[in-house]
């Protein structure tokens, strides 16, 4: 996972991994966030495109939206995002 929001996730597929089917909903995906129980949920592929990484290798970035989140999952995801933002901001302020 390379990005997460309250609406979905972006993941990176490395060379050799199969592409995902556009607009397809993959059921029974597992989202494992630190300090939280695994969340089983469907993910729908919104877009995917090739990108060149800073080291020169290529990957495919896939954006997927959450659909039919189980009860309480949205709060768990929001807590994770807020905690990650706080940690990122604390790190930024300590580097000045």
Asked if residues 40 and 68 have their Cβ atoms less than 8 Å apart, the reply is no
**3-91 has which CATH code?**
2.40.10.220
Q: For residue range 28-87, what is the model confidence (pLDDT) as tens digits? A: 999 999 989 999 999 999 999 998 889 988 899 999 999 899 999 999 999 999 999 998
Nearest to 72 by CA among 37, 35, 20: 37
Q: Say if residue 24's pLDDT is above 90.
A: yes
Q: What is the pLDDT of residue 95?
A: 64
* pLDDT the model gives residue 96: 58
Write out the two tokens for 9. 């996730």
Residues 10, 64: Cα–Cα separation, whole Å: 6
pLDDT at 12 over 70: yes
Spatial separation of the C-alpha atoms in residues 23 and 31, rounded to whole Å: 19
Percent helix, percent strand, percent coil in the chain, to nearest 5: 25, 40, 40
- Answer whether residue 9 shows pLDDT above 90: yes
pTM of this structure: 0.83
């Amino acid at each position: 996972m390379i990005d997460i929001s309250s609406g979905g996730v972006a993941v990176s597929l490395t060379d050799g991994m199969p592409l995902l089917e556009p607009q397809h909903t993959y059921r029974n995906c597992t989202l494992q966030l630190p300090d939280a129980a695994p969340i089983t949920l469907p993910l729908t592929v919104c877009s995917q495109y090739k990108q060149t990484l800073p080291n020169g290798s290529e990957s495919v970035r896939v954006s997927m939206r959450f659909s039919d989140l189980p009860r309480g999952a949205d709060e768990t995801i929001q807590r994770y995002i807020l905690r990650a933002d706080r940690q990122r901001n604390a790190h930024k302020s300590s580097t000045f």
